Amino acid sequence: MVTMLDVSGVGHRYGTGAGANLAIDELSFKVEAGELACIVGPSGCGKSTLLRAISGLLTPSSGEVRLHGDLVQGVPSDLAVVFQDYSRSLFPWLSVRANVEFPLRSRGLSKAQRHERADEVLEWVGLSGAARKYPWQLSGGMQQRVSIARALACRPALLLMDEPFASVDAQTRFELEDLLLRVRRQFDSTVLLVTHDIDESIYLADRVFVLSKSPASIVADIPVDLGSERDQITTRESDTFVHLRSEVARLLQMRSPETVSTADGRTAAADRAAADRWAEAERAESRETARN
């Protein structure tokens, strides 16, 4: 396998002196080419800080990031990011097609090539009919499809996604998750997606990295053996899925990495029971949403 992303000892501290805030702490992991990896972690643990460091938008206080072997210093041209807040990431004065074409302008494509590329990715996200519309004429889910199309149009070596489906309703979220699974196969993309949603991380990923509370460190690297064909109802009901979601929920419930290192059957009974109750409640809610 070829390593696409190599994050080595990355830490970041905001501010200096007494007011300094250590957001992420010595994170190391790799994402292989063609893999879809999810990072799941509690709110405020440092997920966006990590993605900003990977994308070159922020220079980490320590460690280094390599994309296909090249040291990341500034935003690489073959990397694309999709953010949660689609309403602020699209240009309201440009049509859908012009939004998708926009980043291609700096990549030396002719007008005809830009057009062709935009039409192709818009078809892939099911928005061929909306190419002449403006973002504000579209629903939230459709706007996020435009953001995904724009990212894919650049044929990025790595697609980074920061809670990309957190601002849409549950049904749209499922549709967008399935869309992502389809397009990553079509474009053979390497994807690193950050979420705080356990189910989403397992449903989408080949591997899930579980982060601790702030300052974030990696407490587990879990392979997801669910195959490539996934379905919102049957996959989420499968034994493998149910087992994995309990495992991730348990890891996220841990109060510190030290507690986790003694896990695996030796977790405090109260923690385990609480995690199981939480996992069961989330599972029931997901089933309900998938059926509606």
Ligand X SMILES: Nc1ncnc2c1ncn2[C@@H]1O[C@H](COP(=O)(O)OP(=O)(O)OP(=O)(O)O)[C@@H](O)[C@H]1O
Phi, psi of 203 (to 5 degrees): -60, -40
Residue labelled with tokens 């419930």? 253
Q: Give dist(CA 13, CA 78) in Å, integer.
A: 27
**213-242: which residues touch ligand X (CB under 6 A)?**
214
14 binds, among ligand X, Mg ion, none (CB under 5 to 8 A by kind): ligand X
Which residues are at the interface with Mg ion (CB under 5 A)? Answer: 47-48
- Shortest distance, position 180 Cβ to ligand X, whole Å: 19
Burial 214-245 (b: 16+ CB within 10 A, else e): bbbbbbbebebebeeebebeebbeeeebeebb
Q: Check binding of 143 to ligand X (CB under 6 A).
A: no
Q: Check binding of 55 to ligand X (CB under 6 A).
A: no
- Shortest distance, position 95 Cβ to Mg ion, whole Å: 29
Judged by beta carbon, residue 87 or residue 238, the one nearer ligand X is 87
Which of 4, 37, 40, 49 touches ligand X (CB under 6 A)? 49
Burial 14-44 (b: 16+ CB within 10 A, else e): eeeeeeeebbbbebebbbeeebbbbbbbbee
Judged by beta carbon, residue 131 or residue 159, the one nearer ligand X is 159
Contact 245, 283 (CB under 8 A): yes
Which of 7, 23, 27, 148 touches ligand X (CB under 6 A)? 23
Question: How many CB atoms are located within 10 Å of the residue 258 CB?
Answer: 8
Q: Give dist(CA 287, CA 110) in Å, integer.
A: 47
- Shortest distance, position 125 Cβ to Mg ion, whole Å: 23
Q: Give dist(CA 288, CA 258) in Å, integer.
A: 36
Q: Check binding of 48 to ligand X (CB under 6 A).
A: yes
Judged by beta carbon, residue 39 or residue 226, the one nearer ligand X is 39
| Candidate ranges 42-50, 85-93, 176-184, 199-207; the one touching ligand X (CB under 6 A) | 42-50
- Chain residues in the site for ligand X (CB under 6 A): 14, 21, 23, 41, 43-49, 196, 214
